[in-house]
Structure 1
Amino acid sequence: MNGDLYLADALKRFREAKSQCDRALAQVPVERWTHRIDPESNSLATLMLHLSGNMLSRWTDFLTTDGEKPDRDRDAEFEDPGAFDPAALRARWERGWACLLGALEGLTGADLDRTVTIRNEPHTVLEAINRQLSHYPYHAGQLVLLAKHLAPGPWQTLSVARGGSRAYNAAMMGDRPQP
């Protein structure tokens, strides 16, 4: 396996997840970001707090410190913020993604076999990246579904629109006949 190709693809997948989240959040008024559909569900703000908290913990000093930082309060990430500050939440969200992307951009294929720890459990860098490639899109899907539920007016699809597959495929194929 070419490690540099893998890292480039991992970065692409993380950026796609962030883009989906950002485009979904943009369709929901910030006043609705703390709404929960039931007491056991997460709000958009909760998902943003959790994802950014995880990113800041896992990816700060990624190669040299445990991925679960002692100052992280994971349980608080799942509670409604006492005083909701959308600008502060958005800034934390951006810091989390920047931390993740910056850490990955600093890696080379040779780093994939190195060992890092998460909660004192050893992982190769490859395993640690794959762990988050399954975790973040899981929550991104929750965020998108909740945003679609909370958004006023018509939803602007984040992918190929219903009933639009033929037109999308034709555009992607340059109107070439398909085999």
Structure 2
Amino acid sequence: MEIAQNYLDSIRFEFERYKTMGDATFAQLDDSDILWRYNDLDNSISQIVKHLSGNMLSRWTNFLTEDGEKPWRHRDTEFEDPFTTKAAMIAAWEKGWQCLFEALSLVNPDNFDTVIKIRNEDHTLVAAFNRQLAHYAGHVGQIVLMGKMIKGEKWVSLSIPKGQSEAFNTKKFNK
């Protein structure tokens, strides 16, 4: 049981880390920034968030008893008609993450071995969470990179800024 709880704590930490990266990116953007696209074939940050939210709501609503690909989800439309305001985009972002974290809170060492379905394929909870963590991390990486491209020199680094590793390490380890 200890391994199950360690895994649950770890996966929650990682999901929270990626949500925080998205939050910190959004804090640097305005309404027009969320609609920027590198070219006509690419998605905007708003479209990526719409897709992530749709995925989270589908995957994690009643996930212990229903397939993670809900009949009400229409994935292709997640890439159409992006949110036009940052407030609307963030509301959808928060709703998706809330659904995920509520689902995660339902898992415990007693039901940790439950097998769930995603697109009618069996997944252990570990496999399902790992699958979604990888998916969300990839899209959050896109969001961060796009934010950095949009803001250019005004971008505030979400980690140790280039050329400042030594100062960071000195501060962290010489307290």
CA contact (8 A) 2:31 2:84 kept: no
Confirm or deny that 1:120 pairs with 2:120: yes
- Aligned AA (2:74): D
Where structure 1 has 5 or more consecutive residues not aligned to the other structure, the ranges are none
- Aligned AA (2:154): P
Correspondence for 1:105? 105
After superposition, where does 1:75-114 map in structure 2 within 5 Å? 75-81=76-82, 84-114=84-114
Taking the aligned partners of 2:119 and 2:153, their CA distance within structure 1 comes to 43
What do the CA deviations read for 1:8-34 (whole angstroms, capped 9, x no partner)?
A: 110000000000011011111112211
The offset of 1:169, in angstroms, is 1.4
Deviates more, 1:144-153 or 1:119-128: 144-153
Taking the aligned partners of 1:86 and 1:23, their CA distance within structure 2 comes to 13
CA contact (8 A) 1:33 1:45 kept: yes
Report SS of the residue matched to 1:123.
strand
After superposition, where does 1:127-146 map in structure 2 within 5 Å? 127-146=127-146
Normalised by the size of structure 2, how large is the TM-score? 0.93
Correspondence for 1:63? 64
Taking the aligned partners of 1:10 and 1:146, their CA distance within structure 2 comes to 25
The offset of 1:80, in angstroms, is 3.4
Correspondence for 1:31? 32
Runs of 4+ in 1 over 2 A off after TM superposition: 83-89, 109-112
Taking the aligned partners of 2:125 and 2:140, their CA distance within structure 1 comes to 22
Confirm or deny that 1:6 pairs with 2:7: yes
The offset of 1:106, in angstroms, is 2.0
Taking the aligned partners of 2:153 and 2:163, their CA distance within structure 1 comes to 19
After superposition, where does 1:45-64 map in structure 2 within 5 Å? 45-64=46-65
The offset of 1:68, in angstroms, is 0.6
Report SS of the residue matched to 2:148.
helix
Deviates more, 1:65-74 or 1:145-154: 145-154
CA contact (8 A) 1:29 1:151 kept: no
- Aligned AA (1:23): A
- Aligned AA (1:161): P
Report SS of the residue matched to 2:154.
coil
Report SS of the residue matched to 2:111.
helix
Where structure 2 has 5 or more consecutive residues not aligned to the other structure, the ranges are none
The 1:44–1:9 alpha-carbon spacing in structure 2 relative to 1, beyond 3 Å, is same
Aligned residues: 174
- Aligned AA (1:74): R
Taking the aligned partners of 2:34 and 2:134, their CA distance within structure 1 comes to 24
Normalised by the size of structure 1, how large is the TM-score? 0.91
What do the CA deviations read for 1:106-136 (whole angstroms, capped 9, x no partner)?
A: 2113333210000111101111001011110
Root-mean-square deviation over aligned CA pairs: 1.5
Deviates more, 1:143-152 or 1:126-135: 143-152
